[in-house]
Amino acid sequence: MATYTISQKYIGSGYSFPITLENGKPPLKVGDLELIRPSLRVLLTWPNATRFFLGEFGCRIEDTIGEPNDDILGPLVFRFINESINQFEKRIYLLDAEILRPNSTKINIRLIYSIKRTSLEDSFILPFYIKPIY
């Protein structure tokens, strides 16, 4: 009988993204926080309602492209992120999303979340360009 740690039991196991090969095979990640970060990155950068067979998947953060980088943008981005995470990422609770403004064309979104049924907390920064770069 296999023994699981708390994080393995609730986070699950799978392949990390992007897939890298070790000895010709993708390494199986078991119960690692590296499974949640790529899932969040894909969810939050996927344009809303553009995925085949799961039309509501994604985040509406793309709707903020071209908006001014002001005090209204932060709560709007937080709302879009919170809606997506609550609907599609059932393994975590979003604790906070801090908006950092390094310049007028980019925001860095620092997500702070906790893993459900564990005491583990994690965070990562998601860069997002609000002005189109050509």
pLDDT tens-digit map of 18-61? 677 888 887 766 556 778 888 899 999 999 988 889 889 999 99
Query: Measured in Å, how far apart are the chain's first and last C-alpha atoms?
Result: 55
Identify which of 37, 43, 35 has the alpha carbon closest to the alpha carbon of residue 13: 35
pTM assigned to the model = 0.79
Q: Using DSSP, state whether 39 is helix, strand or coil.
A: helix
Q: Residues with Cβ < 8 Å from 108, sequence gap 6 or more?
A: 99, 100, 101, 102, 125, 126, 127, 128
2 pLDDT higher than 60: no
